Amino acid sequence: AQKVTQTQTSISVMEKTTVTMDCVYETQDSSYFLFWYKQTASGEIVFLIRQDSYKKENATVGHYSLNFQKPKSSIGLIITATQIEDSAVYFCAMRGSALGRLHFGAGTQLIVIP
Amino acid sequence: EAAVTQSPRNKVAVTGGKVTLSCNQTNNHNNMYWYRQDTGHGLRLIHYSYGAGSTEKGDIPDGYKASRPSQENFSLILELATPSQTSVYFCASGDNPYEQYFGPGTRLTVL
């Protein structure tokens, strides 16, 4: 069975600082894909970044980057130079070899304080 | 220009009534998905489809049916709505193995 766990319910940080959100996953699949999504206050869900399990390099998109630690089944999301508009709920998700099915964590609420 | 749209955006239904939630995508993706979101549960998969005419059960399919009449459209049907189905429903499209793109959500309240 596949499972995604986000233990941090809520995080508060000061604007312009760096924050890391944790995510651990369980899977029996040898190849899998990890995703982070952002849900804004309006409810919109936006794809942020993806890590393919067979890639050793950590993915980076804009001020989002990943800390992929495969031996620990961990995929942390790092946001540098946080902005007020980064305040949102962040979801970690995983897709294994089963076609198309995403498994989501419960989410972490990020509050950026000006 | 929104690639995944949902209708209605808000719906109030009565217990025992029939509810149909509609989703349309212009991404030309083969795969489409229906999720519900409840506090503390993240997003849970109800039904999904690999293409027109196909539907598959997700993790929580009980009480729901799905219909995929075309590449662009995917509906979620609650034949006999219950208060426990009060939730926010999201449709998504996306081809393997890459990311999915979500619609704006439908808030359903069953009284």
What's the average model confidence in pLDDT over B17-29? Answer: 96
What's the average model confidence in pLDDT over B13-26? Answer: 97
Find, among B19, B8, B10, the residue nearest to B81 by Cα.
Answer: B19
Provide the mean pLDDT of chain A: 94
| Dist CA B6 CA B88 (whole Å) | 12
Beta carbons within 10 angstroms of residue A100's beta carbon: 22
| Dist CA B47 CA B55 (whole Å) | 7
Q: How many CB pairs under 8 A join A and B?
A: 51
Q: Provide the pLDDT for residue B74.
A: 98
- Contact yes or no for B40 and A100 at CB 8 A: no
Residue B2 banded pLDDT, cuts 50, 70, 90? low
Q: Provide the pLDDT for residue B99.
A: 86
What DSSP designation does A99 have? T
Chain A nearest-CA residue for B38? A106
Residue A99 pLDDT greater than 70, yes or no: no
Q: Where are the beta strands (DSSP E) in B1-111?
A: 4-7, 10-13, 19-25, 32-38, 42-49, 56-57, 65-67, 73-78, 87-93, 101-102, 106-110
Residue A29 banded pLDDT, cuts 50, 70, 90? confident
Residue A100 banded pLDDT, cuts 50, 70, 90? low
- Contact yes or no for B42 and A100 at CB 8 A: no
Of all residues in chain A, what percent carry a pLDDT higher than 90?
87
Q: Provide the pLDDT for residue B42.
A: 83
What DSSP designation does A58 have? P
Please give, rounded to a whole number of angstroms, the shortest distance from the CA of A48 to a CA of chain B.
9
Q: Provide the pLDDT for residue A94.
A: 93
- In this complex, the residue of A93, A100, A106 whose CB is nearest that of residue B41 is A106
Tell me if chain A has a CB within 8 Å of the CB of B61.
no
* Torsion A81-A68-A25-A98 (CA) sign: positive
The tens digit of pLDDT for each residue in A39-58 reads 999 999 999 999 999 999 99
The tens digit of pLDDT for each residue in B61-99 reads 999 999 999 999 999 999 999 999 999 999 999 987 788
Residue B55 banded pLDDT, cuts 50, 70, 90? very high
- Contact yes or no for B102 and A35 at CB 8 A: no
- Contact yes or no for B100 and A102 at CB 8 A: yes
Beta carbons within 10 angstroms of residue A58's beta carbon: 15
Residue A11 pLDDT greater than 70, yes or no: yes
